[in-house]
Each structure stands twice: as C-alpha cells, then as structure tokens.
Amino acid sequence: MALNIDKLFAGHARALGIANQRLQLLAANVANADTPNFKARDIDFKGAMQEAGQQKVQLKATHPKHLASVGSANRAEVQYRVPDQPSLDGNTVDTQRESSAIAETAVRYQTTLTFLNHRIQSLRLAITGR
Amino acid sequence: MGLFDVFDIAGSAMSAQSVRLNTTASNLANANSVAGTAAAAYRSRQPVFETVLNEQGGDFASASVKVAGIVQSDVPPSRVHQPGHPAADAEGFVYMSNVNAIDEMVNMISASRSYQNSVEVLNTSKDLLLRTLSLGQ
C-alpha cells in the first residue's frame, strides 16, 4: 500500500487554511470596530469545509484556451454579517460576537494542529519503529 | 500568510486607538484653557478612522484601519465675563475651550477597550503561530 502524504494531511491542511482566513477577517473586524460605515465580514466555517469535501462542478471546456472554472479550491466565500443591533454610524461590528468567534476559531485551529501532530507522531513511529 | 497579516491589522488598530487616546489626553489637559479671542480658544480634537483595504487578495483583502485626519469641534467656545483675568479682552470677556469632559471620558474608555481587544487578537494569533511552528516536534 503506497502512503500518500498529500492525502494524509489534505483535510487538516484545508481546515488550517480556512481557520487562518477566518482569523484574518475577524481581526479586521475588531480593528475596525470604531470605523464608521465598516461592514463586518465572516466566513461560514462549516459550509467551507463541506464544500471542500464535495466534487466541484467543472465547466465544460471545448477549446484548449477555455479557462478553468473559477471556484477557488483554497478559499471560502466571504459574507457580510447581519448585525443584531445596527448602529447609527453604519458600523456592523459586534465586538462580543467577534471575540467569541475568535476564541472558537483559535480552538478549531489548535484542534487541527493536535490532529496533525498525532499523524506526524504515528508516521515517525512507523519509520523508526520505536 | 493570514496569521502574519493579523499582526499588521491588529497593529494598525492599536496605533489608531493610541492616536485617539492622545487626542483625548490633549482635550482633557486643555479642558480649562482660556484664550482672549474666540479664534484662539482651544477646540476639542477628534480623530477620524478609515478602513484601509489591501488591494491584493480579492475577497480576503485584509482590512486594517488608519487615522484619516484629526477634526476640530466647531462648537462655539463659551464666553465668560472675567474682567480680572489677564487674558480678558477689552469688554472683560475670556473664551473657554469647548471640550466636553464627559464626552472625553467616554472616548477614553472606548479607546482603551478597543486597544485591549486588539491586544487580545494579537496574542491569540501569536499563540497559534508559535504552536504551528512547533508542529511535529
């Protein structure tokens, strides 16, 4: 049985990437918590992971110069958040929601790191045999 | 890479909030400043925040924040009759600064909370980065 390192790490790598992007968006939201007219953005973590598990619909290419379908493989769709309490200055950042989302994303990230660490440790065990 | 961008974003927020704290400090320090003319009276200063979208990265453009400028309040300074004051004009009036101490205190609390939030974000992403670096050890 051939060991495919790509397959061994693929799902976790994507989870890390999405958590990474989400953290970046949430950091931007917190940074702009006092900026008038800033609209808070976020991604749907679960939806992005499910999308990763499915086969993407491919566009039919009948000519070698046709472009490949645009559905990006490593990025989730960014959405604007619907505010619970819209504020007068047009800002839709809710600091409490942002902090809880950041905490959640950090835990997800660390979980993925733990899984990856275990995979690496079992690989190492298989290689060294002790 | 995403987590390194977080440092830039949180850093920009901390710098913007510290400008806000600076203006608050100036305003509170000058709350009782007195001038001889309306034009020379101290006017409270407020920073204006603006989002800076990084052009690269499409949808994921990192959005940091910057201080677009400092505006001065256009509330007219109050005119107080104090003939004995050395700065009083010919009619015996002096002009107080238009700083509202309550507004400034609220601003100060808001700025310090926002600063703390940014530090929190920075610490979280620093922890994650360090843990990623020690992956497989």
Computed over its alpha carbons, how large is the radius of gyration of chain B?
Answer: 22
DSSP string over B69-103? EEEE--SPPPEEE-TTSTT--TTSEEEE----HHH
Whether B117 and A20 lie within 8 Å, measured CB to CB: no
Q: Does residue A121 carry a pLDDT above 60? A: yes
Q: Supply φ then ψ for residue B16, to 5 degrees.
A: -65, -45
Question: Which one of A35, A97, A125 would you mutate to disrupt binding with B, by most B Cβ within 10 Å of its Cβ?
Answer: A35
Q: Does residue A74 carry a pLDDT above 70? A: no
Structure confidence at residue A12 (pLDDT): 87
Specify the number of domains making up chain B.
1
- For residue B5, the chain A residues in CB contact (below 8 A) are 24, 27
Q: How confident is the model at residue A71 (pLDDT cuts 50, 70, 90)?
A: very low
B110 CB within 8 Å of a chain A CB: yes
A110 CB within 8 Å of a chain B CB: yes
Domain boundaries defined on chain A: 5-128
Cα dihedral B131/B135/B136/B137 (nearest 10)? -40
- For residue A123, the chain B residues in CB contact (below 8 A) are none
Residue from the list A23, A77, A116 with its beta carbon closest to the beta carbon of B6: A23
Owner of token pair 């201080």: B67
Q: What is the mean pLDDT of chain A?
A: 83
ipTM of the complex: 0.82
A78 CB within 8 Å of a chain B CB: yes
Quote the domain boundaries for residue B94.
2-133
Whole-model pTM above 0.95? no
Owner of token pair 């390194």: B4
A9 CB within 8 Å of a chain B CB: no
How many C-beta neighbours within 10 Å does residue B119 have? 13
Under 8 Å CB-to-CB from B48, ≥6 apart: which residues? Answer: B67, B68, B69, B70, B71
B108: left (phi over 0), alpha (psi -120 to 50) or beta: alpha
Q: For the range B24-32, what are the long-range contacts, defined as Cβ-Cβ under 8 Å and sequence gap of 24 or more?
A: B24/B104, B24/B107, B24/B108, B24/B111, B27/B99, B27/B104, B28/B99, B28/B101, B28/B104, B28/B105, B28/B108, B30/B97, B30/B99, B31/B97, B31/B99, B31/B101, B31/B104, B32/B96, B32/B97
Q: Which of residues 13-42 of B touch A (CB under 8 A)?
A: 13, 16-17, 20
Whether A32 and B49 lie within 8 Å, measured CB to CB: yes
How many C-beta neighbours within 10 Å does residue A39 have? 15
Whether A106 and B124 lie within 8 Å, measured CB to CB: yes
Distance to chain A for B49, nearest Cα, Å: 5
| Residue B64 to residue B2: CA distance in whole angstroms | 13
Distance to chain A for B4, nearest Cα, Å: 9
Q: Supply φ then ψ for residue B93, to 5 degrees.
A: -105, 145
A125 CB within 8 Å of a chain B CB: no
CB B104 within 8 A of CB A13: no
* pLDDT per residue as tens digits for the range A8-66: 787 888 888 889 889 999 999 999 999 999 999 998 888 877 776 665 555 667 777 77
Distance to chain A for B109, nearest Cα, Å: 13
Blockwise average pLDDT, block size 10, chain B, 137 residues = 82 95 95 90 94 73 88 92 89 92 95 95 93 86
| Residue B25 to residue B20: CA distance in whole angstroms | 9
